[in-house]
Structure 1
Amino acid sequence: MGSEYFRTALGALPSAINTQLGQTPAAGLTAARGQENVPVAMASAKPASKKRKSTEDHAPAEPVDLDDIDLEGAPLDANCDQVRRKITKFLDSGAMTKTAFAKEIGVSAKSLGGFLGVSGRYQGSGFAAYPAAWEFFKKREIAGVKLPTAKKQKTSSAGEASSTAKAVAIDISDVVLPGEEDDNVSVFDTCDEVRKKINAHLKKPGVTQAQFCRDIYAQLGPTRPAKPFQSSQLAQFRNAKGALSGAKSRIFYGAYVFFEKLRIKGGKPKTKHRLEMEEQWGPGGMRRDIDGRQR
């Protein structure tokens, strides 16, 4: 069953069915792709079709073929953030690359990247990756296949292991900043200040440059490049010097948004530097249409 089914088939079911079935709010989701609302699929799941087992006591049961599981009519019972968390956990485990996962669920890398790049219970349901990824995980759930765990980081002490778990566990998907929908969040940190934050963040146990590049790439919306940021691009920004050196960089903007969300999520107050920047630049934040990058 392709993702086309989810975009067209079941938006017309009456809301009364939702009430009778006791569906969660996610079952009635609609979300915008541009200006177009896309209905979310509904129905009831059929039991998995199991393959014949051997009559010999010592022979193990054959695994369930996921293709045999029919989800026609099944309610889409997970919201966008819940599906995104499953995708992130699955990819972080090393089970598949992001490109391979997009191919596996039958969507483009752009659709998957777009879906992962937004946050909110209802944000991103217009992307084909949403119902396709839900279907992938739902079939595995019905078949009894558990989500793989993230690769464990080697630590030298119990304290470091605790810090690693804490660093990996932070979820900022529920933090939404004003102007985020059109990549116009007001910036109140200089480029040098963001570089300091990046350097400190990358020293935390369990944090890698590759993961950080994915984290800041996910903060972008309409201006997101076709391909995720590379470590070489991050290094180029980190090696620059100057308050406005790199102000035009999307890595600068994405990193600022990422750290601002971490600050809000952690309930931390604004720094002295932040307050000075607000006073200097006003509510619109610093200019990002100029770049003082040293040649």
Structure 2
Amino acid sequence: MPISSLLSAAPDKENLPLPLPTVTKAPAATAAAAAAAAAAASRKRKSTEALAPAPEFNVDDIYLGNQEIDENPDQVRRKINRYIDGGATTKTAFAREIGVSSKSLSGFMAENGPNKGYNHASYRAAWEFFKKREMVGLKLPVKRLKTTAATATTSGATATAPGTTGTAASRKPAFNSAGVDLGDIALPGEATDAVPVFDSCDEVRRKINLHLKKEGVTQAQFCRDILAQLQGPGRPASIQGSQLSRFRGMKGAGAGATTGVYYGAYVFFEKLRLKEGKPKTKHRTDMEQAWGPEGFDRENDSRRG
């Protein structure tokens, strides 16, 4: 074959189309994983930024200046009682913490009534203490009442705060210093604090002293038990330990007859007697005969027995 023919038969490489570049596609699963990783990294950055440590607050650094007090003395006293009874501190330590003497704090706590105690240094000092705590989100402690296995078995429920009410099926037991539920016991005249009293003041004092000797019974809780029995329009905001101590220190069948401690304690012990199914004492029957259905005179102090 002539050389010219061979040359014409050879392919014209210069005119051939160039090959396309090879493109390797990533599998779909690999692409999705990469996108997820990128999103996770973004979220991690945002999360890290969001969790940056917040500045710490020091209660002592808060300055209230001459800010007006927005709670009355009784409201402040209730907070003090709850703070101490909740186990956060002792009365002496609390006085030191707010910068007053124990004597000053005791004087303020001995007052009773929303308008009693404005002039005490402990009033504003305690109010400032709790106000600062509220501003940084610190709540008052909650005291949990302890119950024995026998109590839990008898009641069929766990302990709850005193004063719980409701239907017989739904009402939770109202436990107190006696460790029993007295919420299902109602006495005639109770709604208006007019229950006839058939124990002398000395007899009620004797019962109080015996009750406070029982294991686990505190004076603070018993004061709340007394208050829970007062339901009339003249019901005080609280019963203070100083009031209980003052009544316990009196002597005489009628000494202290006009006090809420006397009436409230009598109602408490009478409900407890009925709950436990105990009979009336000889003193009780003698008082019924001596004073009739209206009961002992509670309008006059230091009466004859």
TM (norm. structure 2) is: 0.48
TM (norm. structure 1) is: 0.49
Structure (1/2) with the larger helix percentage = 2
